[in-house]
Structure 1
């Protein structure tokens, strides 16, 4: 039996496509072009489309009874002294300013400017596009300058004076934060765990407080200095590791498991790799190094307690005397 439809497709493709309406396309496109031209004239008459507003005017004040949630704020946000602010699922198109003694909780949100904190900042599952500045030079014993972050990203630097609590944090810039005196810090001190920091990490300590770095990936170098105690365990330092201390006990690599240092149990879990040199200065016998692989040199100008240390470069100073 003859199939007229098949026959038309094979012998008269133009007729078949005309039936399908495809040959009307140029005429329809002409109508569409005319409609677009009319729309363009209308747009020209109305004026150009408005861009998204930027941060202008005075800051928006956020307090406990005026939280910011599920919206965009095109201004700076300020948390007044002694106040508390909650920011959830929001975008701050400006800076976040936290006055002394104030606190802010930021969850699943973004800050497109900087964070300037003289109080407490708790950042969870959020992003800061600028820098974080901790203004802990004006001590407030009831609530010191604190930057706590979990599953968060800071695209700039973290600088100033205060306490750090990092858990699964990516800092694309540098970290240069001075830990305050113990009476203004918390019992746990500063703690960096399971984090990646692309820039240099400098952690000076003013008083008898503690600083711990555990299970982290430091893509540049690390400097410990000052009077506080500290540990570095289960961590990779891509560049140099510098220990400058005049009155602190610092353990690199093998360290006792304590609730505040987050070091895992076992030599493999505590091992530290240093991609550059490991330098120890002004330490006396207050520094203990074990379960450490140094790809560069090991340089010590004071006695150091050495355990199992692999050095691919050379040992100099007092560390040369302790060569295996």
Structure 2
């Protein structure tokens, strides 16, 4: 693989989703293979103290690399990398081009450029879009009453997670609320992606950054501040993602991204609801209600439906930022 081919693979692989759009994955071309590492400066030490989301995000980047190679006709072998690495970069996996791509991989690769997080609400999906779709790592919830219950739980869980000031401070660091922010189109969560108007964008730092949220939360208004329940209830399905408790979260991230691309191939858009997995009480309640066994861990959820309006374009770092 020459340098130009490598950069083309990375340009496609880096379209993978990541928590808060932190984009922690880094790529290096070494000895005929591609090493993928985690940039620890892009961790979320408050929101993700165990690095679960970091590893899931990097796992999505690993799968993105495999699929980007498949788009060029090449198969790949993947070896997860042991060791903690240095203070800034942690080895995640090594991907080596090998053989011929599987037809399914080449087909999924075609969905990568169109997959985007869609927060603007959903129109109903056809029954065919959700039929005959099952994976060992996914529980697909399609009953309206169950979706309504999950929608309420998302707002309750979000309120619990956001209540501590350190979490809110960390979240604000990754929000790009001013269009003149130099990172607006590079990383994090910008106004367009959040479907947020200019007035709300000016109020968010005041509410989240000061005592206003503390007061509103003390009054029991935290779930209302999340404001996602109505749009969540419009989803045609909510996919619950779970993985063996002793399994590698990098592999969980690979499976999560692959399933999201399958959703795209079915004409669906997705909106993660990680709060269901991040809040311990909600995670336990959801796992119990939907039969996620005790030897598996709920690690994410994805609201699915048909986009009711255009999805904003993604923000991404440049190639020079992610190649080492």
What TM-score comes out, normalization by structure 1 length? 0.20
Which has the larger Rg?
1
Pick 1 or 2: higher relative contact order, CA cutoff 8 A, min separation 6.
Answer: 2
The structure where helix makes up a greater share of residues is 2
